[in-house]
């Protein structure tokens, strides 16, 4: 698998194998994305989140939400707040 633009740009210590999208608050497997006009976007078709700058490692989200599962369910929204 080729490295994503995010993996090339950021040296992240935590790596859960999943990313969380700031725009749609859903998760996806690390390395998955949707290509749109040369940009790597969140893989959910109804989301306009950028898979480079709008994605966080799932471990980071879980560190603030211990109730969230270690392995997130695809398509489920995991709100950061409230």
Above 90 in pLDDT, residue 11? no
What tens digit of pLDDT does each residue of 26-75 get?
Answer: 999 998 999 999 999 999 999 999 999 999 999 999 999 999 999 999 99
Above 60 in pLDDT, residue 16? yes
The H or E element spanning position 20 is strand 18-21
Taking the C-alpha atoms of residue 53 and residue 51, their distance in angstroms, rounded to an integer, is 6
**Two tokens, residue 43:** 């893989």
Taking the C-alpha atoms of residue 58 and residue 40, their distance in angstroms, rounded to an integer, is 18
Average pLDDT, integer, range 9-15: 58
Nearest-CA neighbor of 13 among 65, 57, 63, 69? Answer: 57
């Amino acid at each position: 698998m080729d490295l994503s633009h995010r993996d090339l740009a950021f040296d992240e210590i935590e790596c859960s194998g999943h990313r969380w999208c700031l725009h749609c608050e859903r998760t996806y497997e690390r390395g998955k994305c949707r290509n749109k006009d040369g940009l790597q976007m969140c893989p959910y078709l109804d989301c306009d989140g950028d898979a480079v700058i709008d994605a966080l490692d799932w471990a980071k989200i879980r560190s603030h939400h211990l109730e969230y599962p270690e392995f997130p369910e695809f398509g489920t929204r995991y709100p950061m707040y409230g």
